[in-house]
């Protein structure tokens, strides 16, 4: 989806959603100063349940954010709408994802939340502790995060025979 898209802003939206596990509303509210380039982290203000949290972000994505900031010069939010200092609409974000999926030849329905699921599943497949994943996703209950253990079934083949 990323390489199929030519728009730097659209590519970056996909990259940020995938590399942080943010919800759409959290991405809309993401301020430039919520990104800690030194610690490779993102501060999520008032996520679901009005809770703050911190999540990770890829160094590659941070580098791309730097380039994006130079070109687009947003004022307040990382991704602004047509008017400066205004949040990008939910519908615009959804269209970026669905159009990018079509350009990439993906026939399945893809939503911004699909990228959040991919983030969590890939962390789990890379042996990241479930409690850390819970914290990064902002889940109040571990049971909610444990749903991803059912999705990450391809790791079963990596389990060695105990005998």
Instruction: Please report the DSSP string for 82-129 in residue order.
Output: SSTT-BPPHHHHHHHHHHHHHHTT--S---HHHHHHHHHHHHHHTT--
* CB-based contact 42:55 (threshold 8 Å): yes
Active site residue 122: no
Active site residue 10: no
Active site residue 150: no
Active site residue 116: yes
Catalytic residue (choose from 95, 113, 131, 155): 113
Catalytic residue (choose from 10, 11, 23, 53): 23
Catalytic residue (choose from 9, 48, 117, 122): 48
CA gyration radius, the chain:
16
Residues labelled as active-site residues: 23, 48, 113, 116, 139, 148
């Amino acid at each position: 989806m990323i390489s199929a898209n030519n728009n730097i802003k659209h590519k970056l939206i996909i990259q940020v959603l995938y590399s942080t596990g943010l919800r759409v509303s959290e991405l809309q509210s993401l301020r430039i100063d919520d990104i800690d380039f030194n610690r490779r982290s993102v501060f999520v203000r008032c996520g679901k349940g009005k809770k703050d949290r911190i999540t990770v972000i890829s160094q590659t994505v941070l580098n791309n954010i730097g380039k994006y900031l130079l070109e687009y010069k947003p004022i307040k939010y990382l991704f602004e709408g047509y008017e400066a200092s205004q949040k990008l609409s939910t519908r615009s974000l959804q269209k970026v994802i669905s159009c990018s999926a079509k350009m990439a030849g993906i026939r399945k329905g893809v939503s911004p939340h699909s990228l959040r699921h991919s983030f969590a599943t890939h962390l789990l497949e890379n042996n990241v502790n479930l409690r850390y994943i819970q914290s990064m996703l902002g889940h109040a209950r571990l049971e909610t995060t444990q749903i991803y253990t059912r999705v990450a079934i391809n790791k079963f083949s990596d389990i060695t025979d105990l005998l």
